[in-house]
Structure 1
Amino acid sequence: MKAVLMWTISDLPAYGMLSGWTRHGRLSSLYCLGRTDAFQLKYGRKTSWFDCHRRFLIIRDAYRRNKTLFRRNTIVHALPPVYLTGEELEAQIDHYGAQETVKRGGNWHTPRNMPDGYGEHHHWHKKSIFWELPYWKDHLLRHNLDVMHIEKNFFDNIMHTILNVAERTKDSKNSMLDLPAICKRSELHITDDGEIPFPIFRMESNAKAALFCWVKEDVKFPDGYVSNLSKCVEEAQKFKGMKSHDCHVFMQRLLPFALTELLPEKVNEALAGIGAFFRDLCTRTDESRK
């Protein structure tokens, strides 16, 4: 009997450990490698990949020339990064000396153990043991991200933002300060006198109360289908203690209609679209081919 490792499935941090490519910072994309358009936010002090997706559109797509919906006054001419074969990836790892990490003690967090050019031209911190498999370089797909982890991250960030949860919302003051240099969204900019706007995607207090009351009293599922969501409401302020599967069910079964009367139509359509996207992503059949 013989076995073959087809691919790995993990969350993002484990992806970095399994692939040997550090998954944080500006060069965190294992597809773009060193050819990324990511940039550093001045006030948020985090790496942003906003508007890095337009380079993957066909060259004549109208969105490439749009100067208002994405980064302000920016037209994208760049092409997608060139796909590297398994042989080319392994050669790059050997070129930067990432295979020597273990010989140096294995602690790639120590600067002196880092391969040459680390953080500037690449993020290879080691050569994965999977490259010892004779067929690994021939795989077209080596690593997968666990959709449940991603879905939970989406759910948490969406809920923390629309509920304006302190220290968890993505609509922070720093993000508002970064916004004028990136987007034409004057209605979301902090005014000259320091007044912070109330965005259309943030729920009013009465809308929050209605949402939590609905979840606690009216939302029912078959036994064993999901956790008791009523116990996941914390003082009518936020959701807590929700497992990945709970977020999965909420995103796909409740989000498409739960906020219909609580948020403006445009916001609700966008959120419902996200829920529908994950539902289609997790379906067992490809409905588009029927």
Structure 2
Amino acid sequence: MDKSWMHADRRSRAFELGVEELIMFALESGCDVNKVCCPCMRCGHGKSWKARVVRDHLVEFGIDKTYTKWIWHGELSSNESSEPEGNSETVEMAGNDTVGGSDDHEFSVDSDEFLRFVEDGDKPLYPGCTRFTKLNGLVKTYNLKAKHGLSDACYSDMLILIGILLPEGNEVPSSFYEAKKSLCALGMNYEKIHACPNDCILYRDSNVDATSCPTCGLSRWKLGKNKVEKVGVPGKVLWYFPPIPRFRKMFQSTSTAKSLTWHADERLKDDKMRHPADSPTWKLVDDKWPAFSSEPRNLRLALSSDGFNPHSSLSSRYSCWPVILVTYNLPPWLCMKRKYMMLTLLISGPKQPVNDIDVYLQPLIDDLKILWDGVEGVYDGYRKKYFKLKAVLFWTINDFPAYGNLSGSIVKGYNACPVCLQHTKPHRLAHGQKMSYMRHRRFLPRYHPYRKQAAVFDNTEERDLAPIPLSGHEVLQRVEGMNWPFGKKHPHPPYKGAEDESRPCWKKKSVFFELEYWKFLPVRHNLDVMHIEKNVCDALIGTLLNIPGKTKDGVAARLDMVAMGIRAGLKPKIGGKKEKLPLAS
């Protein structure tokens, strides 16, 4: 194939025709017209766009002249040791795990099963085929299944049809089961763990053979018509994707293994906050456990979870909770990429797990304990040697309701602040029918002038000091003994040190305290940026600009201000049938 046009002037006709040739070659090789890898000098193979956008980029920025083998667009490398083009595709399943990487990826010899799979995947798709391999075809068909939601039976029929259309001796799997067995060799296997529909227990360990829940007595099996049990069909299922095999696969890739030590080898260390490695939590782990920090390949993780309805408004009786791990060892431009976000749990059912989410987190917590002690025999594909891998979970990242479910803290009502606890200053709004939290001037410096400006705020001077957040040890002392059975409503026991025992600050002891290092971490739970940026900014800007439908400055708000003695001049005026709001400054 003539590629001399890559060195021609971008304004020339030869370059224009060459770009068209590249685009057509990519589409003929099976690339999605809406997702073509861009080899321009700006994108550098790191982004995918529509075909017409890639064409414009190449003309505007030029093509990477070192890109002599079009491996990202369907061309097989001439080097027999390099991976087939199919390995650069992504199988979008099981938490966006990836199959393969780039042409410089090498894999270790510590997994005979994995090597057999790679060798088997290098076979031509059918005798005489030079463009596609068995793995390439399998990945492309599975992408179609995931993208369009094909059923298992439909996918099996499609494989059979493709096998009939291709020449005899082809390597197309004959069923979904065979295809899934091949993909499981890449570390994308999962466990289906039966759960009590009331979220009491998981049927594992001592309860693996139980047929009913020992807590609530509900049957393990689903009820059909006339309330007849369908033995063998579980009432609720947890999907668990073990992270340890996938961590092993990450280190088998040479480029990924190199990136996993970026924080130690290439990070700029100038006391500025650019990466989680500059955070106090990272430094505390390094100082408190020097044996852990002495190995830069040991992983620092974060956990994020939230619920959503995958059927949008079509069904209100379905909830799905993914639990995702993020690896902070990677550079900041990679650690939040979808490729490296690892789905570990998928909790689905007709209702949210809320406070009982700890039941479903138990398999993951068990693996995190193993990772803290260390996993032997992990092969580093970049340094060509084995090592003992350890990992620590830094914190969780959630919105505020999920924050309460994971931390065990009360996040609504009178003691809704996880920092202030019983020192929260709530006020029930009579007209707005909501809880208001005031006295924020406590967090200003002791002699700040705003503390004495009563009329500008709520007609009171602020003399109190800011509450001091509890350490992990103090939280653990207050929630000890709060381990009641899951899945049922139980009265909240008064926690130690409460000023008002009828208003608890905690609703459970979080399962994360089973991790021996959890109580030492200075920050254990975080609020995600999206809710803070969007929701709070929308409310502020909508109120300041008085945007209809967005402003919080309504009749109820004005009446509540008058009731509290704040800016009585803004009281609504009754004129005819409609109340008028005086314009605020």
TM over 0.5: yes
2:562 corresponds in structure 1 to 180
Q: CA deviation at 1:183?
A: 5.3
Residue 66 in structure 1 maps to residue 448 in structure 2: no
2:410–2:506 Cα contact (<8 Å) kept: yes
Q: Kindly tell me: are residues 48 and 133 of structure 1, through their superposed partners in 2, closer, same or farther at Cα, counting changes over 3 Å? A: same
2:175 maps to none
C-alpha contact (below 8 Å) 2:494/2:501 kept by paired residues: no
Q: Paired residues, what number?
A: 189
Q: Could you tell me whether the CA contact under 8 Å between 2:555 and 2:581 is conserved in 1? A: no
Deviation at 1:80, TM superposition (A): 1.4
Q: Deviations over 1:16-43 (max 9, x none)?
A: 1111112111211110011111211121
* 1:109-151 residue CA offsets vs partner (Å, 9 max, x unmatched): x3x4433369734231111110111111101111111111111
In structure 2, what residue type is equivalent to 1:85?
S
Identity %: 39
Change over 3 Å in CA distance of 1:143–1:64 after alignment to 2 = same
In 1, Cα distance between the equivalents of 2:477 and 2:505? 14
Partner of 2:476: 90
Deviations 1:82-123 (A, max 9, x none): 3322111111112xx4322xx2x333xx3x443336973423
Unaligned regions of 5+ residues in structure 1, if any? 201-265, 267-290
Higher relative contact order (CA 8 A, sep 6+): 1
Q: Distance between the aligned counterparts of 1:20 and 1:34, measured in 2? A: 15
Structure 1 residues 158 and 67: CA distance shift in structure 2, 3 A: closer
Inter-partner Cα distance in structure 2 for 1:123 and 1:12: 15
**Equivalent residue for 1:126?**
508
Q: 2:528 aligns with which of 127, 133, 146?
A: 146
Q: Which has more radius of gyration? A: 2
Task: Calculate the TM-score normalised by the size of structure 2.
Answer: 0.30
Q: Deviations over 1:141-168 (max 9, x none)?
A: 1111111111111243246542221xx6
* Conserved? CA contact 1:55–1:78, under 8 Å: yes
| Contact 1:68–1:183, Cα closer than 8 Å, also in 2 | no
Q: Take 1:121 and 1:79, find their aligned partners in 2: how far apart are those partners? A: 22
Give the direction of change, closer, same or farther, for the CA distance of 1:121–1:81 in structure 2 (3 Å limit): farther
Which residue type is aligned with residue 492 of structure 2? M
Partner of 1:5: 393
- TM-score, L = length of structure 1: 0.59
- Note if 1:46 corresponds to 2:434: yes
Q: Which residue of 2 aligns with 1:115?
A: 493
Higher helix share: 1
Cα pair distance change 1:134/1:46, threshold 3 Å:
same
The answer to whether the aligner puts 1:76 opposite 2:462 as a matched pair is: yes
Aligned-partner Cα distance in 1 for 2:448–2:537: 30
Q: What SS is found at the alignment partner of 1:48?
A: strand
CA RMSD in angstroms, aligned pairs only: 2.4
CA gap 1:20/1:181 in 2 versus in 1, 3 angstroms: same
Q: Which residue identity lines up with residue 470 of structure 2 in the other structure?
A: L
Structure 1 123/164 Cα, relative in aligned 2: closer, same or farther at 3 Å?
same
From the superposition, tell whether residues 43 and 152 of structure 1 become closer, same or farther in structure 2 (CA, over 3 Å).
same
Report the equivalent of 1:36.
Answer: 424
Q: Give 1:195 deviation, angstroms.
A: 4.0
Distance 1:183 1:146 in 2: 35
Q: Secondary structure at 2:526's aligned position in 1?
A: strand
* Aligned counterparts of 1:188 and 1:122: Cα–Cα separation in 2: 36
Residue in structure 1 matched with residue 219 of structure 2 by the alignment? none
Does the residue aligned with 1:99 lie in a helix, a strand or coil? coil
**1:27 matched to 2:410:** no
* CA positional deviation for 1:198: 4.4
Q: Counterpart of 1:89 in 2: which secondary structure?
A: helix
Shift of 1:13: 1.0
Tell me the equivalent position of 1:156: 538
Contact 2:414 2:503 in 1 (8 A): no
